[in-house]
């Protein structure tokens, strides 16, 4: 064979061989799951299982970038018996991979593996220490390994304490969240009820609002309802949560609870009756407990969401424009320039034929282009709005400008899109 060809082949193969060799220093090749357990007991080491699929790019990145890291390798070698388990099947699987098919399927079913890579940490006896998933760069992955190797944080140890009644009630929320993440919803809810009844509900309202409150709502949202005293307390004392998390978070919680527990049932009933909700009635109902401005704002947002869901585009456009006008265009632009452009193109331009709304869209784009006149995507949006308004000559000139700028940037997809739009404009055909 030609020496040059041999050199090219070696250049392509050697990096992969190097990665495989380095990983072989970490991961054991054992014939079955029982052999893994036996070896772990013999060496008195926790077990680390890397669960991967052959098509998974992040799994390959873990192999190339993380498992080759000397610090990660050293920690794994010293503290774990590490194995890799392939969860998909291919026609090229080696006999050793095929021999693991049944065990791989059982692991996947037992631990509800639905993303790759997934990481399983077990004691030498096969008891669950921790689970994790997703690509982690070496430093972060090392932190995961150390947490998994911490006996006090071991899941099976905490679960044993819970079953014995010795696990601190104050910390039960964290254990309930972990249990839910590990797909044991029934047990998680049981833990949560104990936490709520024996700890959370016994705290003064102000003391309930700590960092754990956010985790409680995120992971177990139905634990708190709008009628609970704590919601009114949040409304009356917004500074507590705002100081813990961020300004405005208390208002967000109020909107969430009111929308879910007060408005959603009314909307659901309206959908069943095939009628539009009584928005004024909803607003009045909320005003019984909350400031009229809050009532108006929450009702408005739900009304807009209703029109989106019903695909009532004229009302969607009407209320989206009203929303911007109430906020002020300059404030809306400061919040999101991309959001304004997308609203004009995808909603006002595509969904409305009313001149007054299209003129608003043109006004918004003019304001955006004053900020950044070189954004050719914005120029294209502006050109389309003007074209729909009947200002063909201006639209074509702007579209030509957007096309030229896309060519300069060598953006082939935008270039093709703008060329097609320009052809339609010249031919007096709709571009929407």
- Residue 321 within any structural domain of the chain: no
pLDDT for position 1: 44
pLDDT for position 9: 40
Residues 128 and 8 both lie in one domain: yes
pLDDT for position 25: 73
- The residue count of the chain comes to 432
Name which of 301, 311, 302 is nearest 267 in CA terms: 302
Task: Tell which of 127, 157, 187 closes a domain.
Answer: 157
pLDDT for position 21: 47
Sequence-distant (≥ 6) Cβ neighbours of residue 13 within 8 angstroms = none
pLDDT digits (tens, 9 = 90+) for 79-123: 999 999 999 999 999 999 999 999 999 999 999 999 999 999 999
Sequence-distant (≥ 6) Cβ neighbours of residue 53 within 8 angstroms = 59, 86, 87, 88, 116
Residues 63 and 188 both lie in one domain: no
- Residue 78 within any structural domain of the chain: yes
Residues 367 and 246 both lie in one domain: no
In the chain, the number of structural domains is: 4
- Residue 142 within any structural domain of the chain: yes
Query: Is pLDDT of 18 > 90?
Result: no
Name which of 213, 209, 294 is nearest 259 in CA terms: 294
pLDDT for position 32: 93
- Residue 317 within any structural domain of the chain: no
Residues 261 and 303 both lie in one domain: yes
Average pLDDT value for the chain: 93
Query: Is pLDDT of 3 > 60?
Result: no
Confidence of residue 277 (pLDDT cuts 50, 70, 90): very high
Query: Is pLDDT of 44 > 60?
Result: yes
Query: Is pLDDT of 11 > 70?
Result: no
Residues 151 and 263 both lie in one domain: no
Residues 66 and 150 both lie in one domain: yes
- Residue 318 within any structural domain of the chain: no
- Residue 69 within any structural domain of the chain: yes
pLDDT digits (tens, 9 = 90+) for 372-397: 999 999 999 999 999 999 999 999 99
CATH assignment of the domain containing 349:
1.25.40.10
Residues 43 and 83 both lie in one domain: yes
Query: CB atoms < 10 A from the CB of 117, how many?
Result: 24
pLDDT for position 23: 58
How far from chain centre, in Å, is Cα 236? 31
Residues 72 and 47 both lie in one domain: yes
- Residue 83 within any structural domain of the chain: yes
Task: Give residue 175's domain range.
Answer: 168-202
pLDDT for position 268: 95
Residues 116 and 7 both lie in one domain: yes
Q: Is the dihedral of CA 149, 184, 86, 97 positive or negative?
A: positive
pLDDT digits (tens, 9 = 90+) for 256-276: 999 999 999 999 999 999 999
- Distance of alpha carbon 332 from alpha carbon 315, whole angstroms: 20
Mean pLDDT across 136-163: 96
Q: Report the chain's C-alpha Rg in angstroms.
A: 30
Q: What are phi and psi for residue 9, nearest 5 degrees? A: -65, -45
Residues 7 and 153 both lie in one domain: yes
Sequence-distant (≥ 6) Cβ neighbours of residue 159 within 8 angstroms = 175, 179
Query: Is pLDDT of 22 > 70?
Result: no
- Residue 319 within any structural domain of the chain: no
Task: Tell which of 310, 344, 361 closes a domain.
Answer: 310
Residues 9 and 153 both lie in one domain: yes
The region, left, alpha or beta by phi > 0 then psi within -120 to 50, assigned to residue 82 is: beta
Contact 341, 381 (CB under 8 A): yes
Residues 194 and 224 both lie in one domain: no
CATH assignment of the domain containing 65:
3.40.30.10
pLDDT digits (tens, 9 = 90+) for 64-74: 999 999 999 99
Confidence of residue 8 (pLDDT cuts 50, 70, 90): very low
Mean pLDDT across 385-411: 96
């Amino acid at each position: 064979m030609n020496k040059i060809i041999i050199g090219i082949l070696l250049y392509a193969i050697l990096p992969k061989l190097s990665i495989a060799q380095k990983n072989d220093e970490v991961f054991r090749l054992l014939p079955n799951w029982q052999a893994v357990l036996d070896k772990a007991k013999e060496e008195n080491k926790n077990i680390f299982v890397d669960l991967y699929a052959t098509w998974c790019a992040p799994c390959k990145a873990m192999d190339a970038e993380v498992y080759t890291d000397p610090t990660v390798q050293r920690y794994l070698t010293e503290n774990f018996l590490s194995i890799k388990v392939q969860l998909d099947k291919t026609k090229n699987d080696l006999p050793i991979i095929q021999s693991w098919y049944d065990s791989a399927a059982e692991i996947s079913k037992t631990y509800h593996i639905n993303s790759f890579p997934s990481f399983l940490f077990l004691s030498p006896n096969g008891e669950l220490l921790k689970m994790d998933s997703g690509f982690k760069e070496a430093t972060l992955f090392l932190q995961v390994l150390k947490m998994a190797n911490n006996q006090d944080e071991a899941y099976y140890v905490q679960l044993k304490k819970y079953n014995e009644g010795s696990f601190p009630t104050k910390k039960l929320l964290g254990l309930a969240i972990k249990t839910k993440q590990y797909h044991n919803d029934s047990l998680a809810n049981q833990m949560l009820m104990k936490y709520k009844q024996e700890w959370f509900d016994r705290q003064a309202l102000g003391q309930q609002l700590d960092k754990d409150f956010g985790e409680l709502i995120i992971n177990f949202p139905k634990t708190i309802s709008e009628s609970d005293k704590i919601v009114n307390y949040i409304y009356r004392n917004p500074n507590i949560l705002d100081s813990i998390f961020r300004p405005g978070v208390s208002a967000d919680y109020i909107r969430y609870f009111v929308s879910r527990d007060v408005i959603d049932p009314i909307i659901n009933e309206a959908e069943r009756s095939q009628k539009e909700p009584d928005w004024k009635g909803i607003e009045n109902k909320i005003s019984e407990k909350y400031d009229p401005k809050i009532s108006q704002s929450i009702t408005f947002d739900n009304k807009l969401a209703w029109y989106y869901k019903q695909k009532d585009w004229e009302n969607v456009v009407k209320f989206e424009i009203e929303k911007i006008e109430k906020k002020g265009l300059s404030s809306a632009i400061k919040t999101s320039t991309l959001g304004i452009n997308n609203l004009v193109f995808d909603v006002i331009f595509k969904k409305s034929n009313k001149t007054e709304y299209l003129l608003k869209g043109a006004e918004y784009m003019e304001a955006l282009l004053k900020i950044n006149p070189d954004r050719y995507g914005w120029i294209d949006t502006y050109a389309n709005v003007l074209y729909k308004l009947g200002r063909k000559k201006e639209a074509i000139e702007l579209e030509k400008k957007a096309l030229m700028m896309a060519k300069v940037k060598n953006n082939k997809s935008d270039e093709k899109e703008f060329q097609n739009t320009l052809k339609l404009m010249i031919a007096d055909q709709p571009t929407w």
